[in-house]
Amino acid sequence: MKTWFLFVLLIVVAKAGVPQPTELLKYLFDSDPKLLLKPKLTTADRIAAHGYPVESHHIITEDGYNITAFRMPYSHKLQNQKDFRPIVLLLHGLFCSSDFWILNGPNDALSFNLVDAGYDVWILNSRGNTYGRKHISRSTNHPYFWRFSWHEIGFYDIAAQIDYALATNGQGQKSVHFVAHSQGTSAFFVLTSARPEYNEKIKTAHTMAPIAYVSNMSDKMLTRMAPVLGHQNAVTAAFSDQEFLPHNEFFTKLGYNACNPNSMLHSMCSAMAFMFEGSESNANRSAVTIMAETHPAGLSTNQMLHTMQEHQSGRFCWYDHGKAKNLKLYSQETPPDYIVEQITANVHLWYCDTDPAVAVEDVEILASKLPNRVKHHITDPTWAHSDYVTHIDVKRLINEPIIEIMNQYEEAL
C-alpha cells in the first residue's frame, strides 16, 4: 500500500512540477506544504461552470459554527428570478458535503433538476465537513470543536439554515421542502422531534435511505465495531471528540489533482471507485469520479459513535455521555429517546431491500411511529446506498417523482 501511494504521489507531483522527488517525505508530515497543485473546485465553482447562477452564504448557528451553504436562486434557462420560487433544502449524509448533490451534473442531479423546475435551491453543509470548518471562537485544533454528533447537526445546523433560507428568499415564505440522504435524515428526525415547532416549517420531507433505528443494520464495519464503541468505556473515550480522518490541505489537493479529468490518473480513480461500488454498480461513472475528488469531506468521530450506540441500544435516542454526564445533562442515567411521534411533517421514506446501512425492518419501525408518512419501497435488487444520487437513471426513478410530489403540494396551496 505504501509503495503504491508513493508511486501515485511521484506521478502527481512530477506533473505538478516539483523538481526534487527525494524531498517528498516532508510533504507527508507538513500540515501546510508548499506544493504547486491546482486548488480544489468548490460546489459554487462546479455549479457556475454549468452556467447556473449560484451564491455562497455563511450561516452562523446558535452555538457558533460558521457553515457555508450554496444557493441556486433561479434557473438561467427559465429566467424566473422574478417569479415565486418555493424553497428546497438538500442535506448530505456521512462523509459527504454539498458536492454530493451535484455529482450527476446538470442533466441528472436533483439540485439542477429542482432549479430548472422553478425552485429556489439551497445545498446545505454540516459542521465539520469541507464547508463547515469555522467557528466564531474555536479552532479545529481544539477538541471542543469536534464535540458534536448528528444530534447537533439536526438541532442547530438545519434549524439555522432553514431560518436563514426563509429570511433570505424575500418572498415571505414560511416553510420549505426538505431532502436528505442517509445520516442527513437522522439529523432531520432529530430536529423535527426535539424541536417540534420546526415541523410547521416543512412542506414535504424526502428522506433517502432513512436512518433512525439501526439495530438491524448489516453494515460490516459498524456491526464489528459497535459492540466495543457503542458503549462508554476507555476505548470510546480515546476515540471521541476528534476529527475522523484529520484534514490535510496537501492530501485534499493531491486527491483532487489525481482524480481531475485532465490527470493521467483519472481513469485509475474511476476504476478504483467502481471497485468500491461493486460489480452491480448502477452509478454514473462521471459522478463516481467526482465523488473521489471531493470525498470524504470530514466529520467528527462522535457522529459514528452515536450511530453505534443506537445499534447497541436498539433505540433512537440522544447521545450517551455515560451515567454521570447523562445525569447532569438529561437528569437521568440514560439518554432520552427522540419522540418521533412528534414529527408531524409530511415525511416520504425512500428505501430499498439491499442497503447494508438501512434495514427494511428498521424503516418499518420508524414508519410505524410517524403520524404522517408515505413509504417508497425500491425493489431493485441491485440498488445501493448512494444510488439515490448517483444512479444512471436517477432522474426518472427518484428526481422526477420527488419534484412531482413537491409540485402537487404547491398546486394545492
The pLDDT value recorded for residue 49 is 96
For residue 13, pLDDT over 80 is answered with no
Mean pLDDT, residues 358-367 taken together: 98
What's the pTM? Answer: 0.85
The pLDDT value recorded for residue 375 is 98
Mean pLDDT, residues 249-260 taken together: 54
Instruction: Compare 163 and 269 and report the one with higher pLDDT.
Output: 163
| 335-353 confidence digits (pLDDT tens) | 999 999 999 999 999 999 9
Give me the residues paired with residue 176 across strands: 202
The pLDDT value recorded for residue 14 is 43
Instruction: Give 186-206 as a 3 state SS string.
Output: HHHHHHHHHCHHHHHHEEEEE
Where helices occur in 212-300 by DSSP H, the ranges are 220-229, 234-239, 249-259, 266-277, 285-294
Spatial CA neighbour of 194 closest among 367, 317, 64, 309? 317
How many other C-beta atoms are found inside a 10 Å radius of the C-beta of residue 41? 17
The pLDDT value recorded for residue 228 is 94
My answer on whether omega of the bond before 53 falls inside 30° of 0, hence cis, is no
Instruction: Tell me which residues are annotated as active site.
Output: 182, 355, 385
Mean pLDDT, residues 115-127 taken together: 98
Mean pLDDT, residues 50-61 taken together: 98
For residue 15, pLDDT over 80 is answered with no
For residue 213, pLDDT over 50 is answered with yes
| 293-332 confidence digits (pLDDT tens) | 777 888 999 999 999 999 999 999 999 999 999 999 999 9
The pLDDT value recorded for residue 280 is 53
Q: How far is CA 209 from the centre of its chain?
A: 12
Q: How confident is the model at residue 253 (pLDDT cuts 50, 70, 90)?
A: low
**167 and 309 Cβ atoms separated by less than 8 Å:** no
> 62: exposed, middle or buried (C-beta count within 10 Å: 0-12, 13-18, 19+)?
exposed
Positive or negative, the CA dihedral 236, 242, 245, 246 is negative
Instruction: Compare 36 and 403 and report the one with higher pLDDT.
Output: 403
18-22, 103-107, 130-134, 348-352: which has the minimum mean pLDDT?
18-22
Please report which helix (H) or strand (E) contains residue 150, including its range.
Answer: helix 150-152
User: What's the grid cell of residue 223?
Assistant: 456491526
User: What's the grid cell of residue 225?
Assistant: 465495531
The pLDDT value recorded for residue 40 is 77
The pLDDT value recorded for residue 45 is 95
| 154-174 confidence digits (pLDDT tens) | 999 999 999 999 999 999 999
Q: How far is CA 406 from the centre of its chain?
A: 21
- As a whole number of angstroms, the distance between CA 88 and CA 391 comes to 21
Mean pLDDT, residues 384-393 taken together: 93
Q: How confident is the model at residue 221 (pLDDT cuts 50, 70, 90)?
A: confident
**CA angle in degrees (0–180, nearest 5) for 373-370-222:** 100
For residue 9, pLDDT over 50 is answered with no
Spatial CA neighbour of 252 closest among 38, 60, 61? 38
Spatial CA neighbour of 206 closest among 119, 300, 289, 311? 119
The pLDDT value recorded for residue 256 is 52
Instruction: Compare 254 and 218 and report the one with higher pLDDT.
Output: 218
User: What's the grid cell of residue 339?
Assistant: 419522540
The pLDDT value recorded for residue 128 is 96
Let me know how long the chain is.
413
**222 and 211 Cβ atoms separated by less than 8 Å:** no
Q: How far is CA 285 from the centre of its chain?
A: 20
Q: How confident is the model at residue 215 (pLDDT cuts 50, 70, 90)?
A: very high
For residue 264, pLDDT over 80 is answered with no
For residue 272, pLDDT over 70 is answered with no
Report helix, strand or coil for 374.
strand
- As a whole number of angstroms, the distance between CA 61 and CA 208 comes to 25
Torsion of CA 255, 261, 266, 271, to 10 degrees: 100
